[in-house]
Amino acid sequence: MGDERFFLKSSIIMATIVVIAFSMQVLLGRSTFASPARVHAHAVLFMGWIVIYLVQNLLVRANRVDLHRKLGWIAAAWMAAMVVSGFIVTTAIVRAGTVPFFIQPLHFLVSDYLAIPTFAGLTAAAIAMRRRTEWHRRLHFCGMTILMGPAFGRLLPMPYLEPWAWESAFAVTLLFPLAGVLADRKHRGHVHAAWKWGIAAILGSFALTEAVTYAPVGTVIYEAVTAGYPGASLPPLEFQAPPDGPLTGRS
């Protein structure tokens, strides 16, 4: 029961943070709904996943494992659509040269290109280990942790954290799996191995992002992605000046 309470409470907290973060952008005039269809589709898919994750935990708590399993297969297909949408939207933003000004364009590109498969990999592993409940829950949770970065990027004072804005948002997301580790110690007396693998995957994605961003291969990737687009005119490793209009929802 300790596991169920922890994961349910965490899913509620995660969903609440995401809703607050993105709602604030609209309420404060920092975002706009005047965006291409791909952005709206992206929002529906990723927000939908937050709902799915919350509902799955509610079903487990209500002992409706039958519905949990059926929804799980829908979630697997949903995740595949999220991966495609994530790459499409990230590429479009970088090509348009509308990356948030407090993140270097190349850093934004590499971080998203690596975060998306990391999320998918952890989630796929969770699905593959669906019969091993302890692994299943924890790997899913670590996958959700990856998705919290954009929410914290909207809650934290990112412009004031430059040049460490992206790293700061990443660091805050780690509070979730660390809370899982502490919960295991409290309720079990030991830390489940799934946390170690999940956190290792998250930290591995972070390390690879930093390595690729500041290596020559990063520039090669950026030039290949932006060739022939406005984003090609932006220095890949320089921060841009703050825009006059909304900071998000443009590409």
Q: What digits encode the pLDDT tens for the residues 111-129? A: 999 999 999 999 999 999 9
pLDDT band at 165 (very low <50, low <70, confident <90, very high): very high
Rg (CA), the chain: 18
Mean pLDDT, the chain, integer: 93
Q: How many CB atoms lie within 10 A of CB 241?
A: 6
pTM greater than 0.85 = yes
Predicted confidence band of residue 2 (pLDDT cuts 50, 70, 90): low
Using 50, 70 and 90 to split pLDDT, how confident is the model at 101?
A: very high
Cα–Cα distance between 79 and 72 in angstroms, integer?
A: 10
Q: How do the domains of the chain map onto residue ranges?
A: 2-230
Q: What is the SS3 string spanning 182-221?
A: HHHHHHCCCCCHHHHHHHHHHHHHHHHHHHHHCCHHHHHH
Residue 62 pLDDT class (50, 70, 90 cuts): very high
The DSSP call for residue 228 is T
Q: Which amino acid is at 118?
A: T
Average pLDDT over residues 218-239: 97
CA 21 to chain centroid, in Å, comes to 13
Q: What is the pLDDT of residue 171?
A: 97
Q: What is the pLDDT at residue 246?
A: 52
Q: What pLDDT is attached to residue 34?
A: 72
Terminal C-alpha separation, the chain: 44
Give the DSSP letter string of the chain: -HHHHHHHHHHHHHHHHHHHHHHHHHHTTS--S---HHHHHHHHHHHHHHHHHHHHHHHHHTT-HHHHHHHHHHHHHHHHHHHHHHHHHHHHHHHHT---TTS-HHHHHHHHHHHHHHHHHHHHHHHHTTTSHHHHHHHHHHHHHHHTHHHHHHHS-HHHHTTSHHHHHHHHHTHHHHHHHHHHHHHTSS--HHHHHHHHHHHHHHHHHHHHHTSHHHHHHHHHHHTTSGGGGS-TTSPPPPPSS-SSS--
Whether 209 and 169 have beta carbons less than 8 Å apart is answered as no
